[in-house]
Amino acid sequence: MKRLDMGLLDTLKSTYARLTYNGEVKVVKKARAVNDTMLATMGKFGVTPSDVGAPCPFAKVTKSNTYTVSLGAALRYKKRVEHDLATNGVKDATYVPSKKRLGMFPVYGELLWCKDDFSCLYLRCYQTGIPDEAEYFGDGVKIPKVAVGQWLPSDDYRKLSGEWVAPPLVADEENDLIYAMDEDGNVVLDDAGQPVAIALPPVRSIKLENCKVVRKGKEIFFCTDEEWPLAELEAIKATYYAKFEN
């Protein structure tokens, strides 16, 4: 594990950048069923469905896509959620972050995190706007996404099947959903007469080794060439997790 470039990081308070992700997709072992929606998409690309339970035809599936993100040492998820609550009419709301363990601990604000086993660093950032169309590769050869649709992670499989994937929603301390309010303090209803819940802002956790971040035409390198002593990382981890025991 390499030390962080603190001189650089201290200049990244809050900024926008372009992030290119390149990483392996964790496919499931057995093919799922294909519905009419996915079958129609397969037909457009000349892809033949596999039998349910069949293994993935590729030994390794990778994905690459580029999108705009906001990142920086000054960004706080709690403030971001509370801002979204306020813009949805929920006044003076206080968001209480979950104490669920994420399998990683922060080493620089909420921007950079280290995996609990000290094996890698993660960049946490906020996706803004619509990402570029992702490209998929099977054993290094470009393929249409639907060619591995039967083995993709659940959310991607459901989207290809035409199913709606619900976003994570904001809940209060009693785990009750928080709904959008109008100017008069009334709960906003959708076209079906149902209360409109407020979605949590999307945040991404990406291994540094799997991404390239470019700001103002220059790539950002978050680490130096100096090794980070394990004892220091263990101390940071212990301090962070101590609050989970209170």
Whether 96 maps to a domain, the answer reads no
Nearest to 31 by CA among 57, 4, 61, 66: 57
Whether 95 maps to a domain, the answer reads no
- What's the domain range around 63? 2-90+102-167+203-245
C-alpha triplet 172, 154, 88: angle, nearest 5°: 30
Whether 52 maps to a domain, the answer reads yes
Cβ atoms of 222 and 107 closer than 8 Å:
no
Q: Cα–Cα distance between 208 and 105 in angstroms, integer?
A: 15
**Average pLDDT of the chain?**
93
Whether 172 maps to a domain, the answer reads no
The rounded percent of the chain whose pLDDT value lies above 90 is 80
Q: Cα–Cα distance between 63 and 138 in angstroms, integer?
A: 9
Q: How many CB atoms are closer than 10 A to CB 91?
A: 8
Band (pLDDT 50/70/90 cuts) for residue 212 is very high
Stated length of the chain = 246
DSSP for 14-42, written as a single string? SEEEEEEEEEE----SSPPP--HHHHHHH
pTM for the full model?
0.85
Whether 106 maps to a domain, the answer reads yes
pLDDT at 218 over 80: yes
Q: What is the pLDDT of residue 4?
A: 96
Whether 194 maps to a domain, the answer reads no
pLDDT, tens only, 91-141? 877 888 777 788 999 999 999 999 999 999 999 999 887 777 899 999 999
Q: What is the pLDDT of residue 176?
A: 84
pLDDT at 246 over 70: no
As to burial, measured by CB atoms within 10 angstroms (0-12 exposed, 13-18 middle, 19+ buried), residue 200 is middle
Q: Say whether 237 sits in a helix, a strand or coil.
A: helix
Q: Cα–Cα distance between 108 and 225 in angstroms, integer?
A: 17
Total structural domains in the chain? 1
Whether 152 maps to a domain, the answer reads yes
First to last CA, the chain: 30
Q: What is the pLDDT of residue 29?
A: 95
Q: What is the pLDDT of residue 159?
A: 95
Whether 191 maps to a domain, the answer reads no
pLDDT, tens only, 23-77? 999 999 999 999 999 999 999 999 999 999 999 999 999 999 999 999 999 999 9
Token pair belonging to 245:
């025991």
Cβ atoms of 62 and 25 closer than 8 Å:
yes
Cβ atoms of 123 and 110 closer than 8 Å:
no
pLDDT, tens only, 8-25? 999 999 999 999 999 999
